Amino acid sequence: MNAELFNPFTIAQQQVDHASEKLELDEATRELLRWPMKEIKATLPVKMDDGSTKIFHAFRIQYNTARGPAKGGVRWHPLETMDTVRALAAWMTWKTSVVDLPLGGGKGGVVCNPKELSVTEKERLARAYVRALARSLGVTKDVPAPDVYTTPQIMAWMMDEYETIIGENHPGVITGKPLALGGSKGRGDATARGGVYVTREAAAVAGINLQGATMAVQGFGNAGQHGALLGEEILKLKLVAASDSKGGVYNPNGISAEALVDYKIKNGVVQGFPGTDEITNEELLALPVTVLFPVALENVIRADNAENLKCRICCELANGPTTPEADRILDDKGIFVLPDFLANAGGVTVSYFEQVQNAYNLYWELQEVHWRLDKRMTQAFASVYEMSQRNKIHLREAAHLVAIARVAEACKLRGWV
Ligand code: NAD
């Protein structure tokens, strides 16, 4: 087995190569877009509660800043690697570009197991990360956000450390903050809401009536629960199945999304929800629903099960749920796949709104956040759909072309290439 094939950064570079070829980019632009523009590796000594000192390895990648300051989350994960962070930073660059935000792409990571850290140890680690990177962070340079195992509280400590170092109020240095410290209304459900808006647009161009049609949600966590609630509220879809890591539930006559969310919060699982039958995650993927929301893990739709899918629209709220081989199969089956970095871009879009509100020190009502998000997502879908129609390619490839062409243009206009 070739390990390189599974290196996410190798995959990210192959995607750039493919798009560069299609866009007929010159050699220098191709090479520039294949690599992060800036990489920071820091070694963080952090005092533990028992008085010992532990050493943590930390990364921050600023992949490309031609369109604006780097933007992307900070992951705390025991298996974090520089290459994973590089790939995720590349994907953030294309994500901010595809929704046309005036931002670049970045990502950060710390190799650690947050489950083994106390609250005070987490605070010291968050502050150590910012102390090591402070000179490279800032509203005009690089703006981190929460990601795997990092929370609004961790963002609050990071913001406080940054402001302490520079001696100024600068809430826009971090997004995903608690509301009381300059967070934006509407951030909580923004990822799912953006996905629901692009699903509405996809259904419109494909001539699919969503009113009373069915949806299934694989991964009933944060984004999945909001996807079900908003699918019901905005699209008038009927939830028929939902799952988490322990298994799923199914009722072809419909499941109240709100009641299932309450049940999941109380019981920690969806299994056992009254009036439903048990269903496996594999069976859920194969249901003949109108809309499927994969919102769990990467690589759940693969060459060995893609043939079983019967949905009409697959809205990838999760990152990387579909492998490249499965993508081709879904395309042949005529399934409308909304690619992850478009479908789940609502989160970073509202993060950008948070930065804008912080800069003006003026905060928007929830309705304003919603209509601005709707406008951005609708426009992003329209650009990607137009590209796919013009070149007779599927939406994922079209989204890459739209995003990479915009970054390439910004690099050229700056005179970098
Ligand atoms: P989460 O941890 O709240 O929820 C994940 C859910 O998936 C959990 O309910 C878990 O039980 C379930 N799950 C885990 N393994 C599973 C399996 N094998 N089969 C079925 N379900 C399984 O995470 P989240 O924040 O909702 O994120 C979910 C996905 O959405 C991730 O891929 C994430 O990268 C992506 N995403 C989330 C956001 C966001 O704002 N939350 C933004 C962009 C992308």
Q: What is the pTM of this model?
A: 0.95
- Name the residue at shortest CA distance from atom 41 of ligand 1: 223
For 175-207, write each residue's pLDDT tens digit. Answer: 999 999 999 999 999 999 999 999 999 999 999
From the CA of 391, how far away is ligand 1's center (Å)?
33
Question: Partners of 56 in the beta sheet?
Answer: 44
CB of 317 within 6 A of ligand 1: the answer is yes
CB of 319 within 6 A of ligand 1: the answer is yes
Average pLDDT over residues 370-385: 98
Does residue 5 surpass a pLDDT of 90? no
For 239-264, write each residue's pLDDT tens digit. Answer: 999 999 999 999 999 999 999 999 99
From the CA of 245, how far away is ligand 1's center (Å)?
10
CB of 219 within 6 A of ligand 1: the answer is yes
Residue 299 has a pLDDT of 87
Residue 94 has, within 13 A of its CA and on its CB side, a CA count of 29
Does residue 2 surpass a pLDDT of 60? no
Residue 7 has a pLDDT of 84
From the CA of 281, how far away is ligand 1's center (Å)?
14
Q: Which helix (H) or strand (E) holds 86?
A: helix 82-98
CB of 318 within 6 A of ligand 1: the answer is yes
- Name the residue at shortest CA distance from atom 9 of ligand 1: 221
Average pLDDT over residues 40-50: 98
CB of 321 within 6 A of ligand 1: the answer is no
From the CA of 417, how far away is ligand 1's center (Å)?
39
* Active-site annotation holder among 71, 95, 107, 264: 107
CB of 76 within 6 A of ligand 1: the answer is no
Does residue 4 surpass a pLDDT of 80? no
- Name the residue at shortest CA distance from atom 16 of ligand 1: 245
Q: Which ligand 1 atom minimizes the distance to the CA of 264? A: 9
Residue 170 has a pLDDT of 95
Q: 366-391 vs 82-98: helix axis angle to the nearest 10?
A: 90
Q: How far is CA 32 from CA 18, 25, 407, in A?
A: 14, 11, 11
For 72-118, write each residue's pLDDT tens digit. Answer: 999 999 999 999 999 999 999 999 999 999 999 999 999 999 999 99
For a mutational test of ligand 1's pocket, the pick from 74, 198, 244, 299, i.e. the residue with the most ligand atoms closer than 8 A to its C-beta, is 244
CB of 347 within 6 A of ligand 1: the answer is yes
> ∠ CA 23-347-391 to the nearest 5 degrees?
25
Which residues make Cβ contacts (< 8 Å) with residue 237, sequence separation at least 6?
A: 210, 212, 213, 214, 215, 231, 290, 291
Query: Are 292 and 315 within 8 A, CB to CB?
Result: yes
Q: 293-302, 370-379, 393-402: which range is least confident on average?
A: 293-302
**With the C-alpha atoms ordered 123, 124, 127, 129, is the resulting torsion angle positive or negative?**
negative
Does residue 1 surpass a pLDDT of 60? no
Which residues make Cβ contacts (< 8 Å) with residue 21, sequence separation at least 6?
A: none
> ∠ CA 197-100-137 to the nearest 5 degrees?
115
Q: Which ligand 1 atom minimizes the distance to the CA of 224? A: 26
Instruction: Report the alpha-carbon distance of residue 291 to residue 240 in Å, rounded.
Output: 10
Q: Any catalytic annotation for residue 238? A: no
Residue 297 has a pLDDT of 85
Mean pLDDT of the chain: 96
From the CA of 348, how far away is ligand 1's center (Å)?
16
> ∠ CA 384-349-113 to the nearest 5 degrees?
115
For 270-324, write each residue's pLDDT tens digit. Answer: 999 999 999 999 999 999 999 999 999 888 999 999 999 999 999 999 988 998 8
Question: Partners of 54 in the beta sheet?
Answer: 46
Domains and CATH numbers, the chain: 38-172 (3.40.50.10860), 190-338 (3.40.50.720)
